[in-house]
Structure 1
Amino acid sequence: MIPPELAALRSPAAVRARCHMVLDYVLAGTSPHFTVDEAALATVADYVAQVTRQAYPTLDIPYHSRWRHFDAGGLQRWPELEQRLAADDAAERARVMIDLAVVSVLLDAGAGDAWYYHEEASGLTIGRSEGLAVASLRMFEAGGFSSDPKIPLRADASALMRIDAATLGRYFQASEAKPLVGIEGRAALLNRLGHALATHKELFGDGVLRPGGLYDALREKAPMGRLPAPMILGALLEGLSSIWPSGLTVEGIDLGDVGRHPAARMPDLSDQLVPFHKLSQWLTYSLLEPFEAAGFAVTDLDELTALPEYRNGGLLVDLGLIVPRAPIDPAKKHPVDSELVVEWRALTVALMDRLADPVRERLGLDASRFPLAKMLQGGTWAAGRRIAAERRPPSGPPPIAIDADGTVF
């Protein structure tokens, strides 16, 4: 039985509360790593609003999710693939969408500057997150995650447990000339996903074990078709907490993407623990559309937090809201569990909360029309990439480099 104070870390409320504790710590001048220049919040809001209007002139902004990356190069890949599901009902289409989103998100961590994917059908060459998305979609399309050749559009436990780095490398076109960072870790993560599916049959099905089983598990908990977004995240954290090799373990309990920071003082086992659950929240955002397509109304979106990753965090550093106390070499990699990186990530979450209203004011939108999920898309992620390319061309690496294995951050 997981102690209640540790179980409580598996919620977006805990992510937000602990990250704001870190912000208060930095604002008090206690941190040896960063200060915060609150006057720069307006500068960041101006920049994000500008980028959002350029990308979405009508302000019809979709959610920040993996589904945007499947459209890399302006091509609508999922609708074409969905035509193969025309004979299936809405529930099965949702299960397939969940299968695809889960494996694609778990394969989405920094690819490295040298890797890219060449898509034969379009002739496009695509790198970074978009390249990983398209490569994973094409692998899914080819049945690379299914154990049944007759049902290729599926990801199931049996197939996931068998995937190795060589197989993944073949589908993702990795080579010595264009190495994919952390490919062994990515394959191992899929293996652990397979085992997690088999362990949590109550979430992922008692027949064919697949991520899409989550549809059936949550349908039973959604009265009147209303599904709170934190419920999706809670199910993911319950079912997938064991898959993160870089995740924190306390008292034998796998906590996942949780760091340690002295600002988060508590009189119990959760002392100094700061949860992030970045990939799990990214996955939650990416599951909104499968559930909505199946007819659910997903509620309480803004209870989720901003994603503490290097594009959002890099934006705040590059525009002077988060200020390093000493110059940081962008080529030097810092461990993901280091106090500096934990603090940077926590500041990113907390300051994105403070950024939301100023951006809404500039766009003339309220929180119901412009939740965090849309600010990230409009938005901060694209703005972080743009400012990085301006400051550190040509590839635009983040201002702080992370030594991660491609499985948590």
Structure 2
Amino acid sequence: MTVTDPASYLRTLPAVRERTRLVMDKAKVNQLTNFDIEFTKFDETVEFVASIIQRDFAPNYSKIPPHGRWQHFDVGGVSRIQRLVDSWSGIDDAEIAKRLVDLFLVSVLLDAGAGNKWVFSEPGNMAGVYGRSEGLAVASLYLFMDGLLSSNPSNPYQVDSTALKSITVDTVSKALQHSSGNPLAGMEGRAELLQRLGYALEKEVKYFGPDGRPGYILEYLLETSTPSADGKHTVSVATVWDVIMTGLNPIWPKGRTALNGVSLGDAWSCSSMPQDGEEWETIVPFHKLSQWLCYSILVPLELYGNIKYAGKELQTGLPEYRNGGLFVDTGVLILKPEIYKQGITNNSTMGLETQEVVPVFQADEDVIVEWRALTVGLLDLLLPAVNERLGIAGTKDQLILAQLLEAGSWKGGREIAAKKRPERMVSQNSRNNTAVRRLMTEYKQLISEAPDGISAGPIDEDNFFEWECLIQGPEDTPFEGGVFPATLTFPKDYPLSPPAMKFTCDMFHPNGKNIWTSVVEYVVLNWINVVYKDGTVCISILHAPGDDPNMYESASERWSPIQSVEKILISVMSMLAEPNDESGANIDACKVWRNDRAEYNRMVKANVRKTLGL
């Protein structure tokens, strides 16, 4: 192809797919520099990813959200963003869109590697502890809600250039709970990035308005949009991309790949690209963080900004370690022996504290660039194959790439890594070795041979003490077909003490209060179910060891270290199938259960459909 302005071209979305395709062409004839590729393993990858999507979303695939920052804010089953929006009474949709773009943009920019020692302890009654991307999302939400990113006393829920330019390392450090005992990697760099963002917002008035707000891009997009017959404004994703790449260009660090004095951002030379042409032809662009930002802000702009998009298909899969790791761990990509050997040498030279010897490389090394390019290409192949496997290809429910990333490849990469290398997920918890080793053992067992109808695992790969669970409604009950999410929080002395459990969905059950938009608590005492208002799930085996001071239970019926997550979840499934109307907490449900079983079944089934979004 003829390119008159290579620097501009390499900064576009089409360039990402077109340039990575050249590396995939080399892969198809096994002429890569660093990897061998086993396409015979690809069907296994498809099956694995499809099984995860089926487990979590079948049959309601259309309800899979697009990949983006929103889901990270809702870690632990808490709808933090919706709660925030609901608290803004009297605010019109356009301002809601602007506020969410303000928040999402800052949060994405702060979403760089947190390291494996940092966690964020959520204040208030949430009391969750989160690390990595999810922890940074929740931390940035509180940074935003505390008004630390706004210079407008009448509107603390905004981000503006004045506040960002004056923000200090100390302010950001305290907000993100950084300390010597809880170190967040790159703390000073994060604060400096926010400061640079402030100057960029101030400079690009066309995009960000007179106050330098990220959310002002809604006004720019509406001005450049095309009105549609349905009253919405059609916006090209390429226009959103131009705002990101041009408007935010000043914030990126210097020293990355440049062409004719123009910084290309996340773009790198790769030995598997054509080597016999011009210099720029060896470069493959990714723009991963910019694409992550684009995926993230498209959602609130569409929900509240009265716009719809043309060209969503321009975005590619994100070339990061979870998506890329999926293809390594399923055996599609295999390091060439000499490259693997060099990676092991690097590991030894760096003196890394690991429990398993794995190859290690720098982010800008040729092997990593090639891996990222292959990840983009393989994700493009994975999408149609998964749609075919799910039986939804060509239907209105077939997945788009953003949904595959959210529900399949990213989650699949995390899960298979946990299965193959669970020891590497818990380095931050080394001081709690007994609890961590026990939880790792239980997690590995649940992955390999979980009973039908339940799944559970850590919410965050560096914090084994917060888990999320899914429980399927028991067969031959009105709950059949339902999928009920919950969380498990483990104490540091587990298994000496039991975990706490909360359902994060709506229920209609004699032993469950009908609490909409809130958590529902189930308590099973000796198979007598009781419900409290704080949403905690308790089963007899979850009560502290020893005799019951109220003498309702014997010590043998309460928690002991021989119990397990599997037994807890099976007990809760049994509760769904066997209501106890003698100690019911939902009086209405008890009455219907006793007096009109057919109506009870109908109401339960209706609630199940509601929880599935049907």
Same structural fold, with TM-score higher than 0.5 when normalized by the shorter chain? yes
Residue 237 of structure 2: aligned partner = 229
Q: Deviations over 1:289-340 (max 9, x none)?
A: 1121122112322221000111101111111111111334466642222111
Q: Answer yes or no: is the 8 Å Cα contact 2:65–2:403 preserved in 1.
A: yes
Residues 300 and 130 of structure 1, relative CA distance in 2, 3 Å threshold: same
Aligned match for 1:80, one of 75, 78, 83: 83
Inter-partner Cα distance in structure 1 for 2:204 and 2:294: 18
Inter-partner Cα distance in structure 2 for 1:55 and 1:127: 23
Inter-partner Cα distance in structure 1 for 2:50 and 2:425: 21
Residues 222 and 146 of structure 1, relative CA distance in 2, 3 Å threshold: same
SS in 1 for 2:425: coil
Q: Deviations over 1:9-40 (max 9, x none)?
A: 12221000111112223443333311111111
Residues 267 and 48 of structure 1, relative CA distance in 2, 3 Å threshold: same
SS in 1 for 2:214: coil
Aligned match for 2:292, one of 266, 282, 287: 282
Deviation at 1:386, TM superposition (A): 0.6
Residue 273 of structure 2: aligned partner = 264
Aligned match for 1:296, one of 307, 314, 325: 307
Q: Name the stretch that deviates more: 338-347 or 237-246.
A: 237-246
SS in 2 for 1:146: coil
Structure of greater relative contact order (alpha carbons < 8 Å, 6+ residues apart): 1
Residue 243 of structure 1: aligned partner = 251
Q: Deviations over 1:192-216 (max 9, x none)?
A: 21122122111111x1011111111
SS in 2 for 1:297: strand
Alignment of 1:144-293 (within 5 A): 144-205=148-209, 207-224=210-227, 225-245=233-253, 247-265=256-274, 267-268=277-278, 270-293=280-303
Inter-partner Cα distance in structure 2 for 1:356 and 1:242: 34
Residues 171 and 49 of structure 1, relative CA distance in 2, 3 Å threshold: same
- Report % sequence identity: 39
Residue 383 of structure 1: aligned partner = 412
Inter-partner Cα distance in structure 2 for 1:156 and 1:221: 23
SS in 2 for 1:274: strand
Q: After TM superposition, where is structure 1 displaced by more than 4 Å over at least 4 residues in a row?
A: 266-269, 328-333
Q: Name the stretch that deviates more: 184-193 or 58-67.
A: 184-193
- Aligned residues, how many? 395
Q: TM-score, normalised by structure 2?
A: 0.62
Q: Answer yes or no: is the 8 Å Cα contact 1:16–1:305 preserved in 2.
A: yes
SS in 1 for 2:239: helix
Q: Deviations over 1:346-399 (max 9, x none)?
A: 1100110011111111122237641100000111111111111111114439xx
SS in 2 for 1:271: helix
Amino acid of the structure 1 residue aligned with 2:114: A
Deviation at 1:218, TM superposition (A): 1.1
Residue 399 of structure 2: aligned partner = 370
Residue 342 of structure 1: aligned partner = 369
Q: Deviations over 1:120-148 (max 9, x none)?
A: 22011111111110000111000121122
Q: TM-score, normalised by structure 1?
A: 0.91
SS in 2 for 1:69: helix
Inter-partner Cα distance in structure 2 for 1:201 and 1:148: 18
Residue 48 of structure 1: aligned partner = 49
Q: Answer yes or no: is the 8 Å Cα contact 2:105–2:293 preserved in 1.
A: yes
Deviation at 1:288, TM superposition (A): 1.7
Q: Name the stretch that deviates more: 362-371 or 112-121.
A: 362-371
Q: CA RMSD in A?
A: 2.0
Unaligned runs of 5+ in 2: 228-232, 345-356, 427-614
Residue 311 of structure 1: aligned partner = 322
Q: Name the stretch that deviates more: 123-132 or 265-274.
A: 265-274
Amino acid of the structure 2 residue aligned with 1:354: L
Q: Deviations over 1:221-268 (max 9, x none)?
A: 220211222321222111112322164222221221111113333844
Unaligned runs of 5+ in 1: 398-409
Inter-partner Cα distance in structure 2 for 1:351 and 1:188: 36
Deviation at 1:180, TM superposition (A): 1.1
Work out which of the two has the higher radius of gyration on C-alpha atoms and give 1 or 2: 2
